[in-house]
Structure formats: structure tokens, C-alpha cells
């Protein structure tokens, strides 16, 4: 668990923490070169009550080992392994 996630766990009530966690698992970061994606939560981040279309962030892709302008988007369906 990353530092921001640990702080959220320490200071948020459990119901709010669960909401933040679930929301962050629906926001995906996708490499623009290889297409590999993972949730913001799995990347160590928090994205809660956010809204954006076409947002790009600088990120290091562990799959192609490059710094890319990664795409962030909301995914309605989340894999079972990510949701656990």
C-alpha cells in the first residue's frame, strides 16, 4: 500500500475508505505505446470523485520500460482480481 493509501486508511472512516478504494480501482492507467493497463489503486494512487475525458499523465510503463504520456480513463467493469 502506498503512502497516500495508508494515510487514507488511517484517517478516513471505513465506509469512506472503501468508497475511495473502489473508485480508484475503476480508474485505469493505460500505456499509450503498448496498451498495458492497471488500476490507479494498483499503481499506488487514489482517484476519488474524479471526472475527466482525455486526461494524460506522465508515467513509467513497467511492461515496455519507458516513460509515456499514459491515458487515464474510467472503466465500468473491473476484473475480479483487481476488485479483491
What is the per-residue pLDDT across 3-62, written as a single tens digit (0 to 9) for each? 999 999 999 999 999 999 999 999 999 999 999 999 999 999 999 988 888 899 999 999
pLDDT higher than 70, residue 80: no
Whether residue 71 is predicted with pLDDT greater than 80 in this model: the reply is yes
How many angstroms from the chain centroid is the CA of residue 31? 13
This prediction's pTM: 0.82
Cα atoms in the Cβ-side hemisphere of radius 13 Å centred on 53? 0
Extents of the domains making up the chain: 3-83
Could you count the other beta carbons within 10 Å of the beta carbon of residue 84? Answer: 7
Q: At 13, list the grid cell.
A: 472512516
Count of C-beta atoms within a 10 Å radius of residue 47:
21
Beta-carbon count within 10 A of 45 CB: 17
Amino acid at each position: 500500500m502506498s503512502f497516500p493509501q495508508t494515510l487514507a486508511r488511517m484517517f478516513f472512516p471505513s465506509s469512506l475508505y472503501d468508497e475511495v478504494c473502489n473508485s480508484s480501482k475503476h480508474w485505469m492507467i493505460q500505456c499509450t505505446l503498448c496498451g498495458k493497463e492497471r488500476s490507479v489503486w494498483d499503481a499506488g494512487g487514489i482517484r476519488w470523485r474524479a471526472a475527466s475525458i482525455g486526461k494524460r499523465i506522465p508515467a513509467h510503463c513497467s511492461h515496455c520500460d519507458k516513460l509515456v504520456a499514459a491515458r487515464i480513463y474510467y472503466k465500468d467493469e473491473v476484473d475480479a482480481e483487481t476488485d479483491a
